[in-house]
Amino acid sequence: MRATDEVTGEQIQGDPVPEKSVQETHAPSNACFGCGPSNSKGLQIRSFEEGDELVCRWTPEDHHEAFEGVLNGGIIGSILDCHANWCAAMHLMRKNNLDAPPCTVTAEYGIKLLRPTPSKTELILRAKVIESTEDKAVVEATLEAGGKVCDTCRGTFVAVKPGHPAYHRWG
């Protein structure tokens, strides 16, 4: 699939645009600030399965900065949390042979801000499950800019059951 010019309708030359992200595929109505495709004011990260990792390429805008040229730490936390959460959901879906990912929530997570994260470049998020049970996954994730890891995250994500406020929020 190639990008299309919104005015002319013609295909734009260059790299192919990936198919739908896991968010667009499994939760197109999700309004989450970090990963919700339907939140026009959100960050709208798009994550894709690549082997045993979930990978996202995202470029910040000026209003995501803490100060000139440096990404805000809260934005860093939001994109790492959402991306890692989706990694857990996709892993649990495959592990449990489900037709759709379970609705997962963050039980705990921590980030390490290793160096200033530039805001004027494409960022690459990578997440991988390092341990799991039937309804829980521990994920480690990184945020890279210019080939350097700027931030890391480790979190525990659990699948919620009916009655939980977040149950089926993706649908």
Res 171: pLDDT: 62
Q: Cα–Cα distance between 150 and 143 in angstroms, integer? A: 6
Res 167: pLDDT: 84
Structure tokens at 151: 């931030």
**CB-based burial, 72-103: b 16+ in 10 Å, e otherwise:** beebbbbbbbbbbbbbbbbbbbeeeeeeebbb
Residue 151 bridge partners (DSSP): 113, 143
Res 2: pLDDT: 38
Res 5: pLDDT: 45
- The domain 25-159 having CATH identifier 3.10.129.10: the answer here is yes
Q: Cα–Cα distance between 21 and 28 in angstroms, integer? A: 10
Domain edges within the chain:
25-159
Res 15: pLDDT: 54
Res 69: pLDDT: 97
Handedness of CA 61, 122, 82, 45 (dihedral sign): positive
pTM of the model: 0.88
E-strand spans in 21-78?
A: 47-50, 53-58, 65-67, 70-71
CB 85 within 8 A of CB 126: no
Low-confidence ranges of the chain (pLDDT < 70): 1-18, 170-171
pLDDT per residue as tens digits for the range 116-153: 999 999 999 999 999 999 999 999 999 999 999 999 99
